[in-house]
A and B are shown apart, each in its own frame.
Chain A
Amino acid sequence: MTELALAVPAAPAALAPRRRFRLMRRLVGHRSFQIGLVLLVLLTFAAILAPLTGIDPSSMKVRLRFRPPSQAFPFGTDGFGRDVLTRVLYGARVSLWIGFVVALLSGVIGALIGVLAAQFRSLDALLMRIMDGLMSFPAILLALGITAALGPRMESVIIALTVAYLPAGARLVRASALVVRELDYVLAARIAGASPLRIMLRHILPNSVSPLLVHMTFVFAYSILAEAALSFLGVGVQPPTASWGNIIAEGRDYATEAWWVMLFPGLAISLAALGLNLLGDGLRDVLDPRLKGPG
């Protein structure tokens, strides 16, 4: 009994305070976090400031179709004569929003399911088998099925991707909550007379979410990619609303003649995914004590 208690401080969650204390400084000083943050801030601003181009993303000028990139149309025009730059900027609103909401929703719901399973052992088997069931389908296939069933709208894409990315988050939180619930301060809370629900929300959950934060940045990136894939397959956000995925899908038929229609939204997706991955890497380096380097 006593030896066990002695071994406890080595558990990752127990180190949280010191990490938290230096978190901001370490994050700000982390190179890949900096680059990722800058990329994302730039993309977000671009999305917010999209109306400044003064062009309607859906206005068609058939006479100006397939213009290559030029001074007037930096990213060229598409098959309906729409400005690709404007569409990419408006598309950023849809794609980034979907990514953000999916990361947030799947994270929050996943955390709740995970911590419930860890704290109330009788729910564990039920919840985890449901999660296993969801995990047994490839995420994109599951999302494809759900959007197909719900109809191709932005909300369906969000719901589908949330369901698809939920299980991984729930498993992550459950795993770390199972470690945290055995720590002394959880026992201390029980001794103080706290109810299981209170212990779960106040003591276990806040100490179990750091791996999830990292995971959420990756889900953000995956969701942008998955939305693009779904739109490309025709079940995602429907034209004329622009999303990065459906701009690419529309440009697909003219890829050889009008390469710019696919290139620029593709670049935007890559940049967003890169930025989020760098951000997530930085966050992981700072949050995971095992990866603590000299930096």
Chain B
Amino acid sequence: MIGILSYLVFFATLASILAIAVLGLNLQWGNTGLFNGGVAAFFGAGAYVTLILGGQPQDEHLGGFALPYLVALAGGIAAAALLAWIVGRLTLKLRHDYLAIATFGVAVAFENVMRNALWLTGGAQGLRGFERPMRDLLGDGLNYNSVFLAFVLVLLLLVYGVLQRLAGSPFGRLLRAIREDEDAARSLGKMPARIRLTAFVTGSAIMGLAGGLYGTFYAFVSPQDVLPTLTFQIWAMLIVGGAGNNRGAIAGAFLIWGAWTASGWALSRFAPVEAQLYTGSIQFILIGLVIVGMLLWRPQGLFPERLVVSQSGKPGH
């Protein structure tokens, strides 16, 4: 019983962390039409910098600086935002497919730097020496994980609430208008370049928050955590849940993460031994099929974008 509960807490924590990242991507893609193919880099920047700032001093690599946890987490968010600002200044002139390729390249470069800059990141061994906050008080195990889940859920709700408010505001309307037709928006006095950069940086900062929480949860991060796989999974969550719908983004995160872990478990349990070597690959094929199927038969996702968002023309609204 405790085992199942522990597992559920574990599962819900990871799914909620990923849901935060999916919400960030929804702001960029769902609302603004910015194809970010490098989610893993912004997530990774949040994770690495949170652990470097908050970890105990190490001989093998830079940091840690043992800063208070919330300061470290804020630093992780700021690092993701800064990376997004630099990348955005350089690439946001590009549209759709080119932006996707450019940001994908950034993520591959990021992973390579993390793998090879031993003095900074500990290289392939990853970053160690991070103490999870309040461990003295709560110990390890279910107690700790339950409190941490609550913390993550509060942040998820906060991010959701802020993004919902923005979606229904003139700011959200402006993002959608730029997504729909940038030239028409410009003809109405709006400045698309500036708004796109704002949306890109804000969405990436949210991904950085998710990364920081992820690093905190494992008290460890390595290049394995920032592979293009992660970008792919987060995109799958948004597509299945429904681009342009924040509720859909959260539901998609839980569904895809559920399907991912369930398929991993089922494969390891029931697949023939020879096939188990390929469990990871088979999972990818399954998730790929889900994405293709969604795009073919329900491209708007399980929770389609609502059309009348900021204001309705009905009287008495």
Tell me if chain B binds chain A: no
